[in-house]
Structure 1
């Protein structure tokens, strides 16, 4: 590999600054910024994986908040979402020192932590605002020696642009989310009256489109108001539907699984997993307990 290919040049810098500045210009939330960065790092730099960790100062941990590649199977979902203690692993070390690192071969670095699968090289860049750590941009590749100084330089520029945009968003005066929010009231109406949660193909994007807002805005609104994810929000409606229908005459001829599918779950496993998560019981155990309570009342 020749030095010309490895060394950054002014044209690369100008292109990176121009592209990412333009891409981030209309982003209105931190979430939108992070997801946009991960997607475009892969598409523009030819990477196969990119994850952004955000630092939780109170807990001293880094949370995976956005990803693209294998870590992101669909929508804004992160597979095998990790938390890393400050100082642990390569990501934690970079977060602690606030200095970027390029690891040619992870096989020879004892700090390396396997995420969704083992990869051979890694590059980590801290996102720093006013000398305060915000998070880390991390990318891995299956080939050893894949990343070079050009990648390191361009990712450092991207991390700086990311920090500038996040600071801009955070310093703007914004009204806090409330339940009186027009879009939240419209969302509740879609759930309660149109019962859109019964659609097994319902997604964050399709719901946001119905509301006339971005997927990131919708995700932020639910998270801020209810402290839960979009999936948990939808599944709670589905589970309440199931609980109401398990004993109704209308569904007396249905199996328990069929009741779950009618409520919007797209598979038996998704239904049982969500039901157990939200109630602590399997659907069968819940139905049996309900029958016993009715007999003793």
Structure 2
């Protein structure tokens, strides 16, 4: 990552370079999900100010806090809006994460001022907002800030939650079990039912069962592409649907067609591509 210092008087250059080195180590420890390395970089008198949740944390509180915020899925990353900038003993970071849901695109924006003392992270001031791209930032922030704080969430954690849930469903395919429940998802991901409900309702714009049935439908469609002569009803039950009426309703809602019409259209399209 590029860290570009401003132009400083000569006496500030040594401090700036020391700050730059420490913050880079801190950044790389977060990127590597190395909680021990992150904790080792905190000064014994560290103060972490999370202005979004209106919380002030000290060293005894930071391990659990950091573990909550640390991405748990390989490949999860933050997109930096600007280079990390260093001014004497303080570095400034801005980043943005996007979470796409049925209600539109949410931009999770955060900035941090990190102050270094004795080559350790001495103070972190984090400012974050969660905004809906299709609405004024103030409106979305007013709507989401209070419940987020009450649930112990902040924008960065919400983005990591979304990635964790998506990854879990994609890799483990728990929706194939007709008995898959919200509590099962909570147990598997380590989040509470209320936190997951907020994510699904406010970011993905769906209830838990709508979200799960959509995953089941994608599974059926993927199988139909490779098994065009298979029984659609059998595939629906194998994908976790407990009711054919629910499956057919879900199918029509997301494809605009009945399964029979979709298969006929798919067969015509496939024959054209094979010619």
With the length of structure 2 as denominator, give the TM-score of the two structures: 0.42
With the length of structure 1 as denominator, give the TM-score of the two structures: 0.39
